[in-house]
Structure 1
Amino acid sequence: MSSLERYGDRETRIGTPERTAMTEILRAAVDQDYIDLDEYEKRVDVLLAAKTVGEAEVVLADLPSYQRLVEAAEPDALKAPDWVKWLWFGISIPIGINLGVWLILLATIGFVYFWPVWVMVPLLVVASSLTAAERLIMRPAAERKRREKLRRKRNQR
């Protein structure tokens, strides 16, 4: 997998920021004596003429610094799915309403048994269980699947 693939497939067009970053990699290759100045100029010409990620990547493919960059490029960690966020938002509503009613009763008639616990505990147990299942079972499975897809993509090249 190429670190440039985050911009899309190899047919995605590139612009000045991508070309600048690739030129910096080529400059570093000259500084480290991987290529000489003539080869640098030829590669920069190809890079400037490239219109897609695939065309531009050709000038970097054989450089060790670029290979390290490609190998180090790991996908971002998976974030919590929206349903988990909405789950916690959803249970906060009945809990908040019950706590509000209990506080009003407490303020108006004095000591009142803390009955909102019977609403809070079941909701919190269910939400905690679902969140734990997502983090301990679903997320690692999705991460393994994503890493396997990444590995297959790298091996195809």
Structure 2
Amino acid sequence: MGDGALSVWEKSSTVRVVPPARPRKLAKVPFVELADGRLQGVVSSGSDAGRVYVSSVAAATYAFSCSTNNNRPCGGARGSFCNHIRALVTEAVLQYGAERVSRYLKAEAESGADAAALLSAMTVTRPGAGDGGAAAQVFSRFLRHLGYLELVATTAPLPEMHWFPAGGAVAA
């Protein structure tokens, strides 16, 4: 491709779909993303089936936030990562791979590290509590994704999904 020619996916209006590094179960962490300078997502409560936590860890500073979907702070996130944030990091490693998560969060983890090593690398710098301002946005995005699951199967275009990869997208 050094001669200036564009690959097939570069000429199309679709984007490449990066498959998960390893399959993961969605029951514990149904939503995880690397966005807005944070690892963020939704984690199910271990004690209440009707409750979820919105958790996030900021890149570079590792400032963290964890609260319920009703904006109540997590009782375990006092001065260190709670179990929800640990589950979020573990699932992010399964979804994106440890190297990508480490690179995004600017964590000094060894090559080939797992989630435990990544968490250890981030706790060395004594992360601080972050602001929970992003929780509403993250939870709203999660609900919007859930809404797509409820749509009736159709071949008609969805205007808000025009950016989504088509069936001919090339996997990385």
Judge same fold: TM > 0.5, yes or no: no
TM-score (norm 2): 0.22
- Using CA pairs under 8 Å that are at least 6 residues apart, name the structure with larger relative contact order, 1 or 2: 2
Greater fraction of residues in strand? 2
TM-score (norm 1): 0.23
